[in-house]
Amino acid sequence: MLLGRGEVGFLRGVGYQHDAARHCPSEHREDSTKDHKGDEADQRIWDNGGGGRCACEPTPLDENFYKLVPMESPQKKPADTCIRRWLGGEWLRKREGWRREVEVAVGGDGSGGYVLG
């Protein structure tokens, strides 16, 4: 907040979400650069950013994902939001043998099989 505009860096290739503020890197480089205007050096920096680093398209369920944290919350959770799928791997995994449809069929909210890695 105390830096000048020229001192602030924007990491276009990094996905971010905090409350309703979200940035998901563009799927295609040309989509993310078509409206950018700047000098040649600035354009080189802009063009070298990556694209396609988000694993899924955000949905309206993702807009309020912050309300679903912590994972232990009894609040009903969406099946597999973009954030959950993006976390995946070592950060968020499903319990071995767990199936969402079985949990929902017996009255669960379908999120009990997720564990933090």
pLDDT of 9 reads 74
Say yes or no: 34 and 70 in one domain: no
- Is residue 31 situated within a structural domain? yes
Structural domain for 28, as ranges: 11-54
- Is residue 26 situated within a structural domain? yes
Say yes or no: 64 and 117 in one domain: yes
Considering its fold, how many domains does the chain have in total? 2
pLDDT of 67 reads 46
- Both ends of the chain: CA-CA distance in Å? 34
Beta bridge partners of 92: 116
Label residue 32 by pLDDT band (50, 70, 90): very low
pLDDT of 49 reads 46
Say yes or no: 33 and 84 in one domain: no
Say yes or no: 47 and 62 in one domain: no
Say yes or no: 34 and 67 in one domain: no
Say yes or no: 44 and 70 in one domain: no
Q: Tokens for 73?
A: 């919350």
- Is residue 4 situated within a structural domain? no
pLDDT (tens digit per residue) in 63-84: 555 444 445 555 555 555 555 5
Q: Where are the beta strands (DSSP E) in the chain?
A: 16-18, 21-23, 92-94, 114-116
